[in-house]
Amino acid sequence: MGDETLKRSHLNFFIDILAFIGLILLLGSGLLIRYILPPGSGEHLALWSLTRHEWGEIHFWIAVFLTAVVAVHLALHWRWITSTIQNKPREGSGIRVGFGVISFLMLVIIAIAPFLSPTEQIPSATGGKQNHTNKFKPRTGNERFAEKIRGSMTLKDVENLSGVPVKHLLNKLALPENISSGQKLGQLSKKYGLEMEDFRKAIVIYNK
């Protein structure tokens, strides 16, 4: 009995370590995708020869790994979970159980909701909505780059992505010439009352 308990405790410790490692990797890859390889950098930036999309794939499989580890953790503690639920009812225990059931159901609904919801078309950089008829319509290189512009990108990121000089953007948007190329588009939008569409249009008309 003692050896079995010792083995179980060692296994629990090992599973907990794996769960902790999974959490750290999930957080690290998420921060990397969000800040090091921001939206729109998929074709032009790489870290360790991996693009943003490839890091996104790694992030997904880390999440799958962590989910599997948590499932094993719950399985190892299932006897304790069932015994806790089946204990002699105490004052207020029914409310706690009910709250737990409702919380679990809400979590399940939130998890499956995206898979049951319809997708929607969003406006393209040049206006209107993209659909299957214009999806394959030939576009200029600048238009393709413009669609990838996000508020988390800096002016320098835009220049690296599209080849459009920072000076051109500042000129077309009537912004001060002394603005740092490290300024993020979102910050500039708030400060000068611009929209992301303004940045995209400035990119599209470059060299036209």
pLDDT single digits (tens) 114-142: 778 786 665 544 444 444 444 434 445 56
pLDDT in tens, 54-109: 899 999 999 999 999 999 998 888 887 777 766 666 665 667 667 777 887 898 89
Residue that terminates a domain, selected from 87, 121, 155 = 87
pLDDT averaged over the chain? 79
Residue that terminates a domain, selected from 87, 104, 126 = 87
Q: Is residue 75 part of a domain?
A: yes
Q: Is residue 154 part of a domain?
A: yes
Residue that terminates a domain, selected from 43, 61, 87 = 87
pLDDT at 131: 46
Dihedral Cα 158, 162, 168, 173, nearest 10 deg: -60
Q: Is residue 43 part of a domain?
A: yes
Question: Structural domain tally of the chain?
Answer: 2
Q: Is residue 130 part of a domain?
A: no
Top-confidence residue, 97 or 160:
160
Cβ proximity of 47 and 32 under 8 Å:
yes
pLDDT in tens, 9-34: 888 899 999 999 999 999 999 999 88
Do 13 and 78 belong to one domain? yes
Confidence class of residue 50 from pLDDT cuts 50, 70 and 90?
confident
Cβ proximity of 170 and 176 under 8 Å:
yes
Specify the 3-state DSSP secondary structure of 78: helix
pLDDT at 137: 44
Task: Look up the domain containing 63 and give its range.
Answer: 2-87
Do 75 and 145 belong to one domain? no
